[in-house]
């Protein structure tokens, strides 16, 4: 039977009410709102409380108060990510990783929970976006290789900018081997190079802002002559000269190729994304133990960082999916569970180091 909308007093026919999938008791616009909130860093507990209040349901207390949001992320986030995931080809990819730490509120002790790998990119047209984020127990070459494969890039980017991470270099070499065709140029972030050079100069007390060495450092990574001048000036220093000898061959080749590469020379964009993600999720990283669910939530966070997390758009996508599926949700709820040993009730957390 029909009714009257409580928000706008409009008469609604029986077939024209809010969309609710079969066997679901919540409207899809509530699901859309919740997925946007999770992508903004709202905890599962608070997102669930909001959804229950919006649905006119009584709040829950005790364990499991965040389960509604967790299950909606499991079931519905893949639909949103499939529809809005990045498909363009980056001209330059910026890669980095960082550990997520959690501080025990009683002891103040900080511990590592997991690592996140982040990729940002620049298109040929100049657009800058976050291409992907992944949480994993480690950030080793295999993790980066799996991450790069899951980005589903149309082809290799022209360059990849990193902070000299050997795991990234190994993964890129395996993903796009030079023997099989064009391979990205591995470019060291100029900001990090400068900071390491300043540390080396500081060991020799040669880091005065207006000093001769710092003056040459300003142009050291922009042109071959600038690098040669800086390297020659460091010849009379001990610490800086050792740093130049250890890194000179690669920096010299990079500087020589600089003008022929895309004009993206630092990891600043990915560093900014890491800071935002840390602010959104790190304070509750202890509770994020399910790898699949956490990565779905991080995928929603990518849409937020890229400014495409519109509730109306999410609702349209969910509604179209429900209509095409005959009203059925994409998957049953309560399916994404880490393993629990029935003999002793111990749990294997998929987002923790084995």
Note whether 126 and 154 are within 8 A (CB). Answer: no
Q: Is the pLDDT of residue 329 over 80?
A: no
- Element holding 243 (H helix, E strand): helix 239-257
What percent of the chain is predicted at pLDDT more than 70?
86
Report the candidate in 269, 333, 270, 307 with the shortest Cα–Cα distance to residue 84. Answer: 307
∠ CA 47-350-28, rounded to 5°: 30
Q: Is the pLDDT of residue 345 over 80?
A: no
**What average pLDDT does this structure show over 230-236?**
96
* Average pLDDT in the chain: 89
The model's pTM: 0.87
Backbone angles phi, psi at 54, to 5 degrees: -65, -30
Q: Is the pLDDT of residue 18 over 60?
A: no
C-alpha–C-alpha distance, residues 233 and 217, integer Å = 10
Strands 128-136 and 110-122: antiparallel
pLDDT one-digit tens code per residue, 59-70: 776 666 889 999
* pLDDT at position 346: 58
Q: Is the pLDDT of residue 13 over 90?
A: no
CA 116 from centre of chain: 7
Who's near 289: CB < 8 A, 6+ residues apart? 338, 349, 350, 351, 352
Q: Is the pLDDT of residue 354 over 70?
A: no
Give the pLDDT band (50/70/90) at residue 306.
Answer: very high
* pLDDT at position 341: 52
pLDDT one-digit tens code per residue, 237-291: 999 999 999 999 999 999 999 999 999 999 999 999 999 999 999 989 998 999 9
Q: Is the pLDDT of residue 4 over 90?
A: no
Give the pLDDT band (50/70/90) at residue 352.
Answer: confident
CA distances from 188 to 58, 117, 256, 299 (A): 54, 17, 13, 27
C-alpha–C-alpha distance, residues 179 and 351, integer Å = 35
* pLDDT at position 98: 95
* pLDDT at position 15: 44
Place of tokens 């429900």: 322
Domains and CATH numbers, the chain: 3-86+291-324 (no CATH), 92-188+267-273 (3.30.420), 190-260 (no CATH)
C-alpha–C-alpha distance, residues 44 and 208, integer Å = 50
C-alpha–C-alpha distance, residues 121 and 326, integer Å = 38
C-alpha–C-alpha distance, residues 117 and 30, integer Å = 30
Give the pLDDT band (50/70/90) at residue 95.
Answer: very high
How many beta carbons lie within 10 A of that of residue 145, not counting itself?
A: 18
Q: Is the pLDDT of residue 330 over 90?
A: no
Dihedral angle over CA of 198, 199, 201, 202, nearest 10: 120
C-alpha–C-alpha distance, residues 33 and 50, integer Å = 9
Q: Which of 75-84, 245-254, 295-304, 342-351 has the lowest mean pLDDT?
A: 342-351
Give the pLDDT band (50/70/90) at residue 340.
Answer: low
What percent of the chain is predicted at pLDDT more than 90?
71
pLDDT one-digit tens code per residue, 102-141: 888 889 888 889 999 999 999 999 899 999 999 999 999 9
């Amino acid at each position: 039977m029909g009714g009257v909308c409580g928000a706008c007093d409009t008469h609604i026919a029986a077939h024209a009410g809010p969309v609710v999938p079969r066997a679901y008791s919540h409207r899809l616009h509530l699901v859309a709102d919740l997925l946007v909130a999770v992508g903004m860093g709202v905890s599962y507990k608070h997102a669930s409380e909001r959804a229950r209040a919006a649905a006119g349901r009584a709040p829950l207390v005790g364990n499991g108060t965040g389960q509604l949001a967790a299950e909606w992320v499991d079931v519905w986030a893949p639909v949103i990510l499939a529809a809005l995931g990045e498909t363009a080809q980056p001209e330059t990819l910026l890669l980095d990783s960082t550990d997520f730490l959690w501080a025990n509120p009683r002891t103040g002790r900080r511990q590592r929970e997991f690592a996140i790998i982040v990729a940002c990119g620049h298109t040929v047209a100049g657009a800058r976006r976050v291409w992907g984020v992944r949480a994993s127990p480690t950030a080793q070459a295999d993790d980066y290789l799996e991450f790069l494969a899951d980005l589903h890039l149309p082809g290799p980017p022209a360059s990849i900018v990193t902070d000299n991470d050997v795991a990234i270099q190994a993964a890129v070499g395996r993903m796009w081997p030079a023997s099989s065709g064009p391979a990205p140029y591995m470019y060291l972030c100029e900001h990090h190079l400068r900071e390491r050079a300043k540390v080396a100069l500081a060991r020799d007390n040669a880091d005065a802002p207006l000093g001769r060495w710092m003056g040459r450092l300003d142009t050291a990574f922009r042109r071959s002559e600038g690098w040669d001048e800086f390297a020659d000036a460091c010849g009379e220093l001990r610490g800086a000269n050792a740093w130049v000898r250890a890194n000179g061959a690669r920096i010299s080749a990079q500087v020589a190729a600089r003008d022929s590469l895309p004009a993206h020379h630092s990891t600043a964009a990915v560093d900014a994304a890491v800071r935002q993600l840390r602010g959104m999720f790190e304070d509750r990283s202890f509770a994020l133990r399910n790898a699949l669910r956490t990565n779905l939530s991080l995928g929603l966070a990518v849409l937020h960082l890229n400014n495409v997390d519109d509730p109306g758009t999410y609702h349209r996508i969910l509604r179209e999916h429900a209509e095409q599926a005959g009203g059925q949700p994409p998957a049953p709820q309560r399916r994404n569970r880490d393993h629990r040993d029935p003999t002793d009730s111990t749990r294997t957390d998929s987002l923790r180091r084995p």
